Amino acid sequence: MTATTLDPAASPATLDRIRAHLVGLNMPRALEVLEHILRRIERGEISALEAIDTLLGEELTLREGRRVRSALKMGRLINIKTLGGFDFSFQPSLDRDRIMALAQLDFVDRHEAVHFLGQPGCGKTHLALALGVEAVKSGRSVYFATLADIVSSLAKAEREGTLRERLRFLCRPQLLIVDEIGYLPVIPGGGNLFFQLVNARYERGAMILTSNRGFAEWGDVFGGTVVATALLDRLLHHAVVVQIEGASYRLRRHADLIPDNTRTRSITTPQPQPRRRGRPPKMTSTQPDTDL
Ligand code: ADP
Ligand code: MG
């Protein structure tokens, strides 16, 4: 604590001018805390430097909170999940350090794809959202949507002659999260439309994809092996595959009601390696022997 008395120059006129500056600079939070900070200076609780620090810090915190809230909304990250809220002890197959390394977001800057694979309820969407929230906090742009939403928006744009614009819109965010691949087969022509998006983002923007189906089943999901192979070609080239072997968190209190064979089944099945170009794939997994 540094004892400081208010500068005698801090006359009412000076204080009025400071208030007017804060209004002019659009600093509502600083204006709000000004009186309190002045009292603390008077009481000798903080120095002048600490007062400036607190004033600016309060304003910055307000702005940062606003920026994050607005970016989360724009990116459709409505249902907020955090890494802190993820119980890693419930998913022993999941390497916590590996997820924390992903939270450093280098994969976003390297334009890679991260796949979360596993049974319903094992935490795929939670982890995807949590990484999305980290990306927003760090100032990176993110957009979250289900595969069904993306495909239907592309199909609508195609009907209306605005497909190029829609593709451009979906290429803009640094991180695109595509949730729920495999719950429903895509609409006819949807595989092709999704391929156009994936191809447009390939090596230009990062993606997180969640799926309850193994890659070998993508032919069924996307309406044909040709389009599925082309998709996987791009989506597995610079990719991180995280297989979650565990059971549903939603059903954790009712595990005894679920048949054994659906409880902790791995969903990846061996399949031929897709054609690749350029540098070798960086596929890693918590269960390397069972992947691909
Ligand atoms: P999935 O997308 O794999 O079907 P979700 O990520 O939607 O599953 O998880 C289902 C629900 O359980 C969500 O509310 C999620 O927050 C929660 N959940 C899942 N796994 C965990 C976990 N390990 N710790 C805490 N909450 C979890
Ligand atoms: Mg999900």
Which residue minimizes the CA distance to atom 25 of ligand 1?
A: 86
Q: What is the pLDDT of residues 32-75, one digit of tens each?
A: 999 999 999 999 999 999 999 999 999 999 999 999 999 999 99
Under 8 Å between Cβ of 44 and 1: yes
Ligand 1 lined by 165 (C-beta under 6 Å): no
Q: What is the mean pLDDT of residues 261-274?
A: 50
- Ligand nearest 179 Cα, by number? 2
Q: How far apart are CA 274 and CA 210, in angstroms?
A: 19
At 42 the pLDDT is 93
Q: Which of 249, 250, 286 to mutate to test the pocket of ligand 1 (most atoms within 8 A of CB)?
A: 249
Alpha-carbon distance 48 to 189, whole Å?
Answer: 65
CB of 110 closer than 8 Å to CB of 243 = no
Lowest-confidence region among 81-90, 116-125, 136-145, 277-286: 277-286
Say which range, 55-59, 173-177, 258-262, 270-274, has the weakest mean pLDDT: 270-274
Predicted confidence at residue 291, as pLDDT, reads: 29
Cβ 126 under 6 angstroms from ligand 1: yes
Q: How far is C-alpha 240 from the geometric centre of its chain's CA atoms?
A: 15
pLDDT tens, 108-154?
999 999 999 999 999 999 999 999 999 999 999 999 999 999 999 99
Q: To which residue do tokens 């614009």 refer? A: 165
How are beta strands 175-181 and 113-118 bridged, if at all? unpaired
Give the whole-angstrom CA distance, residue 170 versus residue 166: 6
Token readout for 86 is: 């993820």
Mean pLDDT of 190-211: 97
CATH fold of 88-262: Rossmann fold (3.40.50)
pLDDT of residue 205: 97
| 3-state class (DSSP) for residue 206 | strand
Q: What is the pLDDT of residue 257?
A: 62
Provide the pLDDT for residue 51: 96
Query: How many Å apart are CA 1 and CA 132, to the nearest integer?
Result: 40
For the chain, give every domain's residue range. 11-74, 88-262
The per-residue pLDDT for 159 is 97
Note the pLDDT of residue 138: 97
Tokens (6 digits) for 102: 């992903």
Phi first, then psi, for residue 128 (nearest 5°) are: -65, -45
- Going by pLDDT thresholds of 50, 70 and 90, the confidence category of residue 194 is very high
Q: What is the pLDDT of residue 251?
A: 78
HSE-CB for 194 with a 13 A CA cutoff: 34
What ligand 1 atom has the least distance to the C-alpha of 180?
A: 2
The string of pLDDT tens digits covering residues 203-258 is 999 999 999 999 999 999 999 999 999 999 999 999 999 999 988 887 776 666 66
- Mean pLDDT is lowest, of 20-24, 179-183, 275-279, for 275-279
Could you tell me the pLDDT band of residue 260, with boundaries at 50, 70 and 90?
A: low
Residue 246 CB–ligand 1 contact under 6 Å: no
Give pLDDT, residue 276: 45
123 Cα: distance to centroid of ligand 2 (angstroms): 7
Q: Which residue has the higher pLDDT, 262 or 41?
A: 41
For the cut 80, the answer to whether the pLDDT of residue 78 exceeds it is yes
The pTM of the full predicted model, rounded to 2 decimals, is 0.83
